[in-house]
Structure 1
Amino acid sequence: MKRHALPGFALILTLLAGCAVGPDFVRPEPAVPASFTRDADAARTVPGDGISQNFMEGATLPAHWWRMFGSAALDGAMTRALAGNPTLQAAQANLRQSEAAMRAGAGVFYPQLDAAAGATRQAASPVRFGQAVPGTVFNLFSLSATVSYTLDLFGLNRRTVEALSAQVDLQRQTLGAAYLALTGNLVNAVVAQAGYAAQIQSTTELAALVREQVEITHAQVQAGTAAHASELSLAVQLAALEATLPPLRQKLEQADHLEATLSGHYPAEGEPVAVTLENLRLPADIPRLLPAVLVRRRPDVLLAEAQLHVASAEVGVATAAMFPAITLSAGYGRQSLQIGTLFGGGSAVWSLGAGLTAPLFHGGELYYRRQAALAQMDAAQAGYRQVVLAAFGQVADALRALEHDAELVEATRHARALAHEALQEVQANFQAGTAGYLQVLVADAQFHQADIGYLQARTQRLQDTVTLFLALGGGWDASAECANRRSGLPLRDGAIGPMSSSDSASSIALCRSL
């Protein structure tokens, strides 16, 4: 090769080294509507129990969104769950594993340097070389180093590491999804527990009132002043009420068991969360996320995006495998029959080499591997679109649910207020001697029935608020949150050092592996 051609050859190699075949991943920008619902999204709900829930433009859902319910007991239960939940711990370990695999894969970008040393005793027979002389026995000492490097001309290594990096992002979003599921399940369990406890108390009081009515009616039947059918009707009502208590108690215990297992404890070891409906504050101001922002916050959407990135990188890997590969190698060493002369003159050995491998015929294997990777990318694109659609559907459902919940709470509150007013009038009439005690019991029973409906509506409104928070992504930006905390939180053997604030405990549990 002529001397003036060398710079041009080097330029070609440089250009090739910067080329990576296959598609370059472009973050999807789905075309989303301006609102979540068919009509423009409402700025607030109708008043329910005196409270309208406002959707605040430009506000951000706080990371610790459950604190908006104003319960210290709930906050404590969440801290325990984030520290002890096995599913979250498994997701953290999977993230660390994927990060280690990515760092291991990135080693391919560096030359591979190896050293070897050996000492052998050998017997050689010159007869095999056609020499009729006696054999010899000798020692051979060797010391060598080799270096090799594969030119990534078509981006096989880069696409492989890109796929590993996308797997890290996938595991990070899997961790975010696990975090979101844990926090949502725990808050829902606590709200459900409070609702069931309130319904059990009201139903028990109502059953006691009906039982008293049964006893009074039974006495009237015995005296011949009431029909037996009246007693039977009340007895049926009492039996129906008492039949509702065991399922409520079972659901209450299931909620308690779920709280324990979410915290990493056996049901027999869990600490009951002392929360009542009166202790839970309904969040009145809720951030309103723009539809375009939602796809950048929800872990399941970001997870689907990472899966698409992995599939895109795998297409590049399959494409690059169809092109030649060049490996450069060099070696240097010392060999001697005596260890004392290992570094003497004449004992040096060296080698320089270059190798090229190119696929010529593999029976269609490489071609169809690429076709399979392309089909996988098509599936990932469709999966991403489906996840985005489902996310918008969940937000729309939650927004509408809060509107209807407010209407239901207001209607049941009004019914409860009317029943309470009727009860007060009957009680006043009873004290004045114009109404019987049985009428008081009937009015009291109607009040408790209205109260149960009101408690159910309040519980549903709280739970649908939780559903909206989860549909909006839970307010957790793991990368930003943990980046802010790393500077002041020393890591020691996978554990976090002393905290400056107890408010940081729930964040730290997730930051351990981010």
Structure 2
Amino acid sequence: MTSRPVTQILLPVRNIFGVLACISALTACTVGPDYLRPDSGLQEAVLLPRPEYSGSSPISHTEVPALWWSLFNDPLLMEFESRALLSNLDLQIATNRIEQSRAQLGITGADLLPSISASASYAREAISQHGYFAALGAPTTPNNFWQIGFDATWELDLWGRARRANEGAAATLEATTYEREAFRVTLAAEIARCYLQIRGTQAQLDIANQNRTIAERTLDLVESRQRNGIATRFETSSARAQLATINAAISEQTQRRNALMNALALLLGEKPRALDAQLRQAMPIPSLPSEVPVGIPSELARRRPDILRAEAQLHAATASIGVAKADFYPRIGLRGRIGAEAFESGDLSSWDSRLFSVGPTVYLPIFQGGRLTQRLALTEARQKAAALAFRQTVLLAWHEVDNALDAWAAQQREHEELLLAYEQNKQALQVAERAYQEGAGDYLGVLTTQRNLLSSQTNLNTSATNATLTLVNLYKALGGGWNVTGETK
């Protein structure tokens, strides 16, 4: 037998594949609409509070800092923010979704490439002595049968179906990436919000303890005056009721502080009470920055990952239309097989044992019962829904930023007025206590001013806490908390 090189065996198959690949490159087109990036219109946004809030802290149009929480100058807050990026379980789940989308993109991209496989088989076989083939004279003795070969298939992407599918998968990966970054923005805001609420609650506890000291001192004074026949039982009962009310508020604030510490521990992926040692010691509410950088309106859409996610989802929905339209066209592929088969394994290397087949395959949808038409209608409807969702996301972002700017300015104005009210109530209590001790005033005046002071202290502390929270909301609305210019891996 004459053996021939393997390259001579593969040559006919390779030539046919090469010719058809050239034809595919020359005639390929892509059906379906090309994606055009929509205009968000956010360049018209006004990143300033309304004119009636003039006099608030100045707004700077410098770039929004990625680590905006550093503006509070609180090392413990900065530590918690860094820990959350490594240990938050929801963020890890979002990262895992990116890995899934990346793998799906790889699967979709494989449709653009040929598929090659190898196979080998062996069988010991014999036909029936009473069968049809035996009647025709075929031998019925058992024999061995060996096969070995390679199979290749390749669908020519003449209408861009695989390219549109790959485009959609890439856009879906991008959307999943921005979904993680949107969660990162929310996580940063939640960490800061929870931490600041803890500090605000601790300040409320400190106020309540100070007022308990005042209430205890007042109760001692009233009881002393009652023993001397100067005060009445009404005054004594009122003083005791005031002290009990303060003690009840302390219990409530203590429970709220503990719940907030557990909430922060959950955000960090820690078990309950894991942060008690770090947070139980009271610390003042972080001070506000003297200047608030908010960036420029034209960059707002690029800083908000939820807008970028909605845009990527619109891109994926647009690419799906091309896939649905390509299903109406013929699908042409190439299929080839080369190998050898023989009854003896030693004959597999012989040229006479060779076999090969190569040729095109054509699939043409003729009647699908309206399935393809309705699938196209479905993808077009989903694309319209994605476009509306993008517009809604942009509009919601615009409202969030505008409301956050006004809330930031209004909270500063409120804090100034509450600070004035606190100073006046403090002076009023001093005057009322002095008058009561000297017998020139009644206890009702002391009780009233004491309650007013407690209320003003509580309101002032709440306002200070809310001022920091409005700044958190502002930077969340501005899309701060992720690296806009960095790679989203």
Work out whether the TM-score is over 0.5: yes
Using the alignment, how far apart are the partners of 1:85 and 1:10 within structure 2? 49
* Conserved? CA contact 2:335–2:360, under 8 Å: yes
What CA distance in whole angstroms lies between the structure 2 residues aligned with 1:391 and 1:205?
43
Q: Give the SS at the match of 2:181.
A: helix
Percent identical among aligned pairs is 28
| Residue 138 of structure 1 pairs with residue 143 of structure 2 | yes
Q: Cα distance, 1:15 vs. partner?
A: 4.8
Q: Is it true that 1:53 corresponds to 2:57 in the alignment?
A: yes
Structure 2 matches for 1:34-183, cutoff 5 A? 34-36=44-46, 41=49, 52-57=56-61, 59-124=62-127, 128-129=132-133, 131-132=136-137, 134-183=139-188
Cα deviation for residue 46 of structure 1 reads 5.4
The correspondence for 1:217, drawn from 201, 222, 228, is 222
TM superposition shift of 1:45: 6.5
Q: Distance in 2 between matches of 1:87 and 1:263?
A: 10
**Residue 31 of structure 1 aligns with which residue?**
41
Map 1:149-298; keep pairs closer than 5 Å: 149-274=154-279, 278=284, 280-298=286-304
Does structure 2 retain, via aligned residues, the 8 Å contact 1:336–1:342?
Answer: yes
Secondary structure of 1:335's counterpart equals: strand
Task: Check 1:215–1:388 CA distance in 2 against 1; reply closer, same or farther (3 A cut).
Answer: same
How far apart in 2 are the matches of 1:425 and 1:219? 20
Paired letter, 1:71: D
Counterparts in 2 of 1:464-503, with a 5 A limit? 464-477=470-483, 480-481=485-486, 483=487
Per-residue deviation at 1:424? 7.0
Are 1:370 and 2:376 counterparts? Answer: yes
CA distance, structure 1, for counterparts of residue 139 and residue 320 of structure 2:
61
3-state SS in 2 of match to 1:296:
helix
Change (3 A) 1:306 1:200: same
> Could you list the runs of 5+ residues in structure 1 that have no partner in the other structure?
1-8, 484-510
Offset from partner CA, 1:429-451 (integer Å, 9 cap, x none)? 79x98989989998777555433
Q: Cα offset for 1:135?
A: 1.5
Cα distance in 2 for residues equivalent to 1:414 and 1:94: 52
* Partner Cα distance (2:441, 2:74) in 1: 44
Instruction: Return the offset for 1:110.
Output: 1.0
Matched with 1:357 is 363
- Distance verdict in 2 for CA 1:103–1:201, change over 3 Å: same
State the alpha-carbon separation in 1 of the partners of residues 369 and 396 from structure 2: 42
In the TM superposition, residue 390 of structure 1 has moved relative to its aligned partner by: 1.2
1:356 is displaced (CA, Å) by 0.6
Once the two structures are superposed, the pairs formed by residues 410-449 of structure 1 within 5 Å of their partners are 410-420=416-426, 447-449=453-455
Matches of 1:100 and 1:218, distance apart in 2 = 78
Residue in structure 2 matched with residue 489 of structure 1 by the alignment: none
Q: Please say if residues 185 and 481 of structure 2, whose CA atoms lie closer than 8 Å, have aligned partners that are also in contact.
A: no
Aligned residue pair count: 466
Conserved? CA contact 2:411–2:466, under 8 Å: yes
Q: Which amino acid aligns with 1:53?
A: S
- C-alpha change, 1:327 and 1:44, in structure 2 (3 Å) is farther
Distance 1:229 1:440 in 2: 13
> Does structure 1 residue 327 correspond to structure 2 residue 327?
no
Deviation track 1:122-157 (CA, whole Å, cap 9, x = no partner) reads 214696345235413221222211211101111111
- Per mean C-alpha deviation after superposition, the further-off stretch among 277-286 and 331-340 is 277-286
Normalised to the residue count of structure 2, the TM-score between the two structures is 0.86
Cα distance in 2 for partners of 1:405, 1:167 equals 40
Spell out, residue by residue over 1:201-256, the C-alpha distance to the aligned partner (whole angstroms, 9 max, x if none): 11121123123323322333443323433334444433433332333222211110
Residue 451 of structure 1 corresponds to which residue in structure 2?
457
* Residue 306 (1) aligns with residue 312 (2): yes
Question: SS state of the match for residue 280, structure 1?
Answer: coil
Letter in 2 for 1:73: L
| Deviates further, 207-216 or 391-400 | 207-216
Measure how far apart 1:337 and its partner are: 1.8
- TM-score (normalised: structure 1): 0.82
